[in-house]
Amino acid sequence: MFNIYDLTQKDPKTLQERALKLAEEAGELAQAVLSVTKAPGSEYKGHDLADVREEAADAAIVALSILAQASESREEFEAELNRLMADKCAKWQEKLPVSSVDTVKRSD
Protein backbone atom coordinates (compact mmCIF):
# COMPACT_ATOMS: atom_id res chain seq x y z
CA MET A 1 0.00 0.00 0.00
CA PHE A 2 1.64 3.20 -1.27
CA ASN A 3 5.08 1.61 -0.83
CA ILE A 4 4.78 1.74 2.96
CA TYR A 5 6.71 -1.49 3.45
CA ASP A 6 9.70 -0.40 1.31
CA LEU A 7 9.79 3.08 2.82
CA THR A 8 9.80 1.56 6.30
CA GLN A 9 12.69 -0.73 5.37
CA LYS A 10 14.74 2.25 4.11
CA ASP A 11 14.01 4.44 7.15
CA PRO A 12 16.30 3.59 10.08
CA LYS A 13 13.85 4.60 12.83
CA THR A 14 13.41 2.16 15.69
CA LEU A 15 10.02 0.84 16.69
CA GLN A 16 10.11 3.14 19.74
CA GLU A 17 10.88 6.15 17.54
CA ARG A 18 7.98 5.31 15.23
CA ALA A 19 5.64 4.95 18.20
CA LEU A 20 6.72 8.36 19.48
CA LYS A 21 6.25 9.79 15.98
CA LEU A 22 2.71 8.40 15.95
CA ALA A 23 2.04 10.18 19.24
CA GLU A 24 3.37 13.40 17.70
CA GLU A 25 1.15 13.03 14.64
CA ALA A 26 -1.86 12.20 16.83
CA GLY A 27 -1.20 15.43 18.70
CA GLU A 28 -1.07 17.40 15.45
CA LEU A 29 -4.34 15.80 14.36
CA ALA A 30 -5.94 16.67 17.70
CA GLN A 31 -4.73 20.26 17.37
CA ALA A 32 -6.24 20.58 13.87
CA VAL A 33 -9.56 19.05 14.99
CA LEU A 34 -9.73 21.31 18.04
CA SER A 35 -9.13 24.33 15.82
CA VAL A 36 -11.69 23.31 13.15
CA THR A 37 -14.34 22.57 15.77
CA LYS A 38 -13.58 25.87 17.50
CA ALA A 39 -12.82 24.29 20.84
CA PRO A 40 -12.23 26.94 23.48
CA GLY A 41 -8.65 28.19 23.24
CA SER A 42 -7.93 26.52 19.90
CA GLU A 43 -9.98 28.34 17.26
CA TYR A 44 -7.39 31.10 16.76
CA LYS A 45 -4.99 28.57 15.21
CA GLY A 46 -6.93 28.79 11.95
CA HIS A 47 -6.81 25.18 10.81
CA ASP A 48 -9.26 23.92 8.20
CA LEU A 49 -10.54 20.50 7.11
CA ALA A 50 -7.63 20.17 4.68
CA ASP A 51 -5.32 20.32 7.71
CA VAL A 52 -7.41 17.63 9.43
CA ARG A 53 -7.15 15.39 6.35
CA GLU A 54 -3.39 15.95 6.12
CA GLU A 55 -2.77 15.14 9.79
CA ALA A 56 -5.04 12.09 9.60
CA ALA A 57 -2.96 10.86 6.66
CA ASP A 58 0.29 11.51 8.56
CA ALA A 59 -0.98 9.49 11.53
CA ALA A 60 -2.22 6.67 9.28
CA ILE A 61 1.12 6.46 7.45
CA VAL A 62 3.10 6.24 10.68
CA ALA A 63 0.69 3.63 12.09
CA LEU A 64 1.09 1.57 8.91
CA SER A 65 4.88 1.88 9.12
CA ILE A 66 4.69 0.43 12.64
CA LEU A 67 2.66 -2.47 11.28
CA ALA A 68 5.29 -2.91 8.54
CA GLN A 69 8.20 -2.83 10.99
CA ALA A 70 6.46 -5.40 13.18
CA SER A 71 6.17 -7.75 10.18
CA GLU A 72 8.85 -10.23 9.11
CA SER A 73 8.24 -9.77 5.37
CA ARG A 74 6.23 -7.79 2.82
CA GLU A 75 3.93 -10.78 2.46
CA GLU A 76 3.25 -10.88 6.19
CA PHE A 77 2.70 -7.10 6.26
CA GLU A 78 0.14 -7.25 3.46
CA ALA A 79 -1.60 -10.33 4.84
CA GLU A 80 -1.76 -8.91 8.36
CA LEU A 81 -2.93 -5.52 7.11
CA ASN A 82 -5.78 -7.17 5.20
CA ARG A 83 -6.66 -9.56 8.03
CA LEU A 84 -6.53 -6.96 10.79
CA MET A 85 -8.43 -4.29 8.87
CA ALA A 86 -11.18 -6.76 7.95
CA ASP A 87 -11.43 -8.13 11.50
CA LYS A 88 -11.29 -4.75 13.22
CA CYS A 89 -13.80 -3.13 10.85
CA ALA A 90 -16.15 -6.10 11.29
CA LYS A 91 -15.93 -5.70 15.09
CA TRP A 92 -16.56 -1.96 14.73
CA GLN A 93 -19.62 -2.63 12.59
CA GLU A 94 -20.93 -5.16 15.14
CA LYS A 95 -20.87 -2.46 17.83
CA LEU A 96 -22.85 0.08 15.82
CA PRO A 97 -26.58 0.48 16.40
CA VAL A 98 -28.65 -1.49 13.89
CA SER A 99 -29.82 1.66 12.08
CA SER A 100 -26.18 2.76 11.59
CA VAL A 101 -25.19 -0.67 10.27
CA ASP A 102 -27.98 -0.45 7.68
CA THR A 103 -26.61 2.92 6.58
CA VAL A 104 -23.07 1.52 6.26
CA LYS A 105 -24.29 -1.41 4.15
CA ARG A 106 -26.24 0.89 1.82
CA SER A 107 -23.17 3.06 1.14
CA ASP A 108 -20.87 0.08 0.34
Distance of closest approach, residue 49 Cβ to Mg ion, in angstroms:
15
Residue 62 near residue 18, CB atoms below 8 Å: yes
Closer CB to Mg ion, 34 or 76, in the complex: 34
Nearest C-alpha neighbor of 9 from the set 76, 73, 55, 97:
73
CA dihedral 106, 33, 62, 2 (to 10 degrees): 50
Site string for Mg ion, 47-86 (x = CB under 5 A): --------x--x----------------------------
Distance of closest approach, residue 57 Cβ to Mg ion, in angstroms:
8
Distance of closest approach, residue 28 Cβ to Mg ion, in angstroms:
4
In angstroms, how far is CA 72 from the centroid of its own chain? 21
DSSP state for residue 45 in the 8-state scheme: G
The residue ranges that bind Mg ion (CB under 5 A) are 25, 28, 55, 58
